[in-house]
Amino acid sequence: MLLSQRVIPIKTFKIKYILCIFEIVILCKFNHKFLKTGKGIPSMKKTINFKLNGKPVTLDADGGRKLLWVLRTDLGLTGTKYGCGESYCGACTVIVNNDAVRSCQISVQDVQDKDVITIEGLIKGDKLHPLQKAFAEHDALQCGYCTPGMIMSAYSLLKKNSSPSVREIKAGLEDNLCRCGAYKRIISAVQTASAEMKGVN
């Protein structure tokens, strides 16, 4: 009998299907835990130096560990969010040498001797950055999960173009997803911040 002609009893099929889904869920959970903690992954520790929010940082870390987990788990900077882990959502965006970068995609060894800025680095003392202030004033968020990544992408955009048009803001932020759909208010916030930042860092 040809393989395609074999009839699998529906009960066996259902059990196999459920076991398969169960296996996938368990694997994903373990995978996420390993990525987050680094435990269980063969370690290649090296000394990594970089600047984080203006201050020098030296770490003995597995060079291949993703920057996102080093920031969140090792350094306690939880403003940078984990969304998809696949480069789709932009929730994990940070600035590396003035470029908006997905921290879920780059390894900590990739920021050796570079300048990293996270959402925590924008606030100066108790003074919010114009972007943070404008997002609050325009109520440019609902759940707020996308906000740090959105602000960091806007920061990079305004560094390169201090007076972006609406079209340029849309293009600059198009890879950052907001599931709550606050896009209109986000664009207004970036316009307000851009007006305030002219000539300001």
Cβ within 8 Å of residue 105, ≥6 positions away: 66, 87
Closest to ligand FES by CB, 23 or 99: 99
Please tell me whether residue 90 binds ligand FES under the rule CB under 6 A: yes
Does residue number 182 form part of the binding site for ligand FES (CB under 6 A)?
Answer: yes
Listed ranges 22-30, 33-41, 48-56, 177-185: which one lies at the site for ligand FES (CB under 6 A): 177-185
Q: Which of 27, 29, 101, 114 is nearest to 68 (CA)?
A: 101
| Number of residues forming the site for ligand FES (CB under 6 A) | 22
Please identify, using beta-carbon distances, which residue of 37 and 47 lies nearer to ligand FES: 37
Nearest in space to 66 (alpha carbons), one of 111, 117, 120, 122: 111
Structure tokens at 150: 């959105």
3-state secondary structure (DSSP) of residue 1: coil
**For 39, which DSSP code?**
T
Instruction: At 57, list the tokens.
Output: 């940082």
Taking CB under 6 A as the criterion, the residue among 26, 84, 171, 195 binding ligand FES is 84
Least Å distance, CB 49 to ligand FES, is 24
Site string for ligand FES, 121-160 (x = CB under 6 A): --------------------xxxxxx--------------
- Of the residues 52, 62, 67, 83, which one makes contact with ligand FES according to CB under 6 A: 83
User: Contact between 191 and ligand FES (CB under 6 A)?
Assistant: no
- The radius of gyration computed from the CA coordinates of the chain, to the nearest angstrom, equals 21
Among 92, 96, 100, 116, binds ligand FES (CB under 6 A): 92
Sequence-separated (6 or more) residues with CB below 8 Å from residue 78? 72
Q: Restricting to residues 60-79, name those near ligand FES by CB under 6 A.
A: none
Secondary structure string (H, E, C) spanning 78-106 = CCCCCCCCCCCCCCCEEEECCEEEECCCC
Task: List contacts with ligand FES (CB under 6 A).
Answer: 82-85, 87-92, 102, 104, 141-146, 178-180, 182
